[in-house]
Amino acid sequence: MPSTGRYLRFGIAILVIVGAMSYLAFTGIQESKSYYVTIKELQGMGDQAQTKRLRVAGQVVPGSIRRQGAGADFQIDEQGLKLQVAYRGTEPPPDTFKDNAQALVEGNYGSDGVFHAKQIQAKCASKYAPAANQTATTEAPTTKPAAASQNAN
């Protein structure tokens, strides 16, 4: 019987470890979960918006960026609806973060009506668009299909 007690203690230790790991995994997933909403949806959420981690996208309003150390205060616009954002992250905003850039902010909506962002992703639309005066340098070759040239005879 002494070996049965050893197996029981070993089984209980394994259950405690698996239980602790499951709890940590569950809470980690809950903390990292965020919901993507539009500015219109955010404004219609009421008090629910203050309890969830959210992601909101929009175009940075020209002239609204006020940098403060590694952070920034600015506005984003989506179809005429504006949202004031206060970014206080661990890293400064990316190089592509400037006027008229598309920005995706992640954080919490405060009771003060300001979105408190912990992360920013920015894409400068003009950087990825082709230049207006740029022309194609190569054209696709025009060849006749073999079947068409045989039927022409």
pLDDT of residue 131: 54
DSSP helix/strand/coil, 101: coil
Q: Check residue 12 and give its pLDDT.
A: 92
Out of 3.30.565.10, 2.40.50.140, 3.40.190.10, 3.40.1670.10, the CATH code matching 35-128 is: 2.40.50.140
pLDDT number for residue 74: 93
| pLDDT grade for 7, boundaries at 50, 70 and 90 | confident
| CB 84, CB 75: distance < 8 Å | yes
Mean pLDDT value across residues 122-133: 59
Largest CA distance in the chain: 97
Looking at the chain, the whole-number percentage of residues with pLDDT higher than 70 is: 75
Residues 54-112: tens digit of each pLDDT: 889 899 999 999 988 888 999 999 888 999 999 988 888 888 888 888 989 998 888 88
